[in-house]
Structure 1
Amino acid sequence: MSGIDRKIILDRRHIAKHLPNTAQSNRLLRRGRSAHVFNDEKTLLRVAQAIIVGGIHTGFARGYDRYGLMFTEAIGVRLDPDGSTLLLFYGEVKIDADNQYHPIPRTRPSEA
């Protein structure tokens, strides 16, 4: 079965770190970490909806139930502290114990 078949609520606290040129995504880079950002907020919302409707359950990892979907066009980019970039085609929705979710652009599904 694909898609998420329970009521979930968007957790807006995590959105800014997955959008380009926000204080939160820039803070990750300043701290020497990569930032996985969507192309824009419209793409973030479109990807989240696509995963809710047709995403594949990939398991439970690091405290979150996870669903994902591969896209044919780049949905975002991984920004590295050294300035290099990598286009991202995989989207993931992480759902916490309170059924709050947030989407993330990734290179591949998360591993346990």
Structure 2
Amino acid sequence: MEVSLLNVKIQIQQNEIVVDEIGNHKNTWKEYYSCFATVSGEGGSEKSVAGLIVEDSDISFTIRYCKAVEKLDTTKHRILFMGELYNIVAIDHMNFKKKCIKLKGEKVRN
């Protein structure tokens, strides 16, 4: 993997359950890991949902392997990139060579 291609900073967030002082449980997103990545595969499509046309934008992030990203999970983590949130829909360990990991993200619709 060529290090010079890791030219954009991303933040990986983790979903946590926080209990307040009166016992209410609330989901929050906290910073889990921050690193540089290579962005590729920017694309997308439009589809009709409930009579509205919405954009489906997907993107791939390639990051260097480390112990922190080894435990990533598609249900507990998401990516913050250039102020936009992306749900992780797939994690590719690149043949388990422990050099890099590719994360496929889908833009979060608000």
If the length of structure 1 is used for normalisation, what is the TM-score?
Answer: 0.33
Which structure has more relative contact order (CA 8 Å, sep 6+)? It is 1
Q: Which has the higher strand share?
A: 2
Q: Larger helix proportion, structure 1 or 2?
A: 1
Q: Radius of gyration: which is bigger?
A: 2
Report the TM-score when normalising by structure 2. Answer: 0.33
